[in-house]
Amino acid sequence: MSGFRPVAAFGASLFVAALCVFPARAQAPPLEAVAAEEGVETTIGTTMSETDRMLAQVTIGGAGPYPFIVDTAAERSVISRQLANDLGLAPAGRARLLSMTSSREAGMVRVPDISFAPGQSRTLQAFALNGRHVGASGVLGIDALRGQRVVLDFEAGEMRVGPAPRNAERFGPDDIVVRARSRYGQLVLIDSSAEGVDVDVVVDSGLQVSLGNEALRRLLVSRRNRFEQIELLSITGESFSADYTRVDTLRIGGVAITGMPIAFADAYFFTRMRLTRRPALMLGMDTLRMFRRVAVDFPNRRAHFVLPEGAGRAER
């Protein structure tokens, strides 16, 4: 749900970070949804943005297509204010937008008949933000993806969206399936650890670099990790500082990742998700792209990772 664009590796760096897109629940406008042929999985060709985030082409009321960032952890979608003005989208009131570092009121618009798959459309109420900071025409959040399984196929350069299989799936030796619990519409993977300590993990395709909470940072400090200071720039235009280091060993289900870079900031996401008491991590695109495919299965509350050829499973 957030994204970072490194300008220089390690040391004094500037990153572009996307926001945590949560309206305050009491003020969140209702979601209007209309979908046709939802029982069929649809394949959508994708490209990668300059910030290494997956882009899907969408139409709005038949106009377009426009490139939108696919974000598996944003509660609500976003559209660039410039595109909303060009399309003459109607205002839909204001709601509280909780970014990485602040909480403020932001305007919303009604986005009619937004479609990224043939035969399917939804009408959303999305935040309208400055497109220069968003880095695309908009962001597809969970409100556009909920109730479906989203497959990010990096090997084929495509995204597949549809219902979870009704029959038992057959998994091969390169497949890792990780159970999750649902919280505020997002999936929190529960069979994971960092440096041997249990850690909560959220698959966040809107992040370019993974982001950890304060409990995880304290764990790594106790292990004498070396940290560097970096500056982050939010797509809302806010800048803030963060620590940056690497985790020796991160285990997600049956796969171990070594030397994974992680940024640490006082991100509201973890407070909002109640992921502050023990180590937690938003798993960004830098890690997700190590796999051939990653599926976020919202109905069945699980994530499915397909290992690259020749990669081994982690020892339990």
Model pLDDT, residue 294: 93
Q: What is the pLDDT of residues 108-122, one digit of tens each?
A: 999 999 988 777 788
Domain 20-162, what fold?
A: Cathepsin D, subunit A; domain 1 (2.40.70)
Q: What is the pLDDT of residues 263-315, one digit of tens each?
A: 887 777 888 888 889 999 988 888 898 899 999 988 888 899 988 875 555 55
Give me the residue spans of the domains in the chain.
20-162, 175-306
Q: With contact defined as beta carbons under 8 Å apart, do 234 and 17 qualify?
A: yes
* Cα torsion through 22, 39, 299, 99, rounded to 10: -10
CA 212 to CA 278: how far, in whole Å?
11
Is there a common fold for 20-162 and 175-306? yes
CA 61 to CA 43: how far, in whole Å?
20
Q: How would DSSP label each residue in 22-63? A: EE-GGGPPPPB--BSSTTS-EEEEEEE-TTS-EEEEEEETTE
- Tokens 């897109």, located at residue: 21
Q: What is the pLDDT of residues 69-80, one digit of tens each?
A: 998 888 889 999
Kindly state the tokens that stand for 4. Answer: 């970072």
Look up the CATH architecture of domain 175-306.
Beta Barrel (2.40)
CA 209 to CA 264: how far, in whole Å?
10
Beta bridge partners of 46: 56
Burial track 219-236 (b if 16+ CB lie within 10 A, e otherwise) = bbeeeebeeeebebbbbb
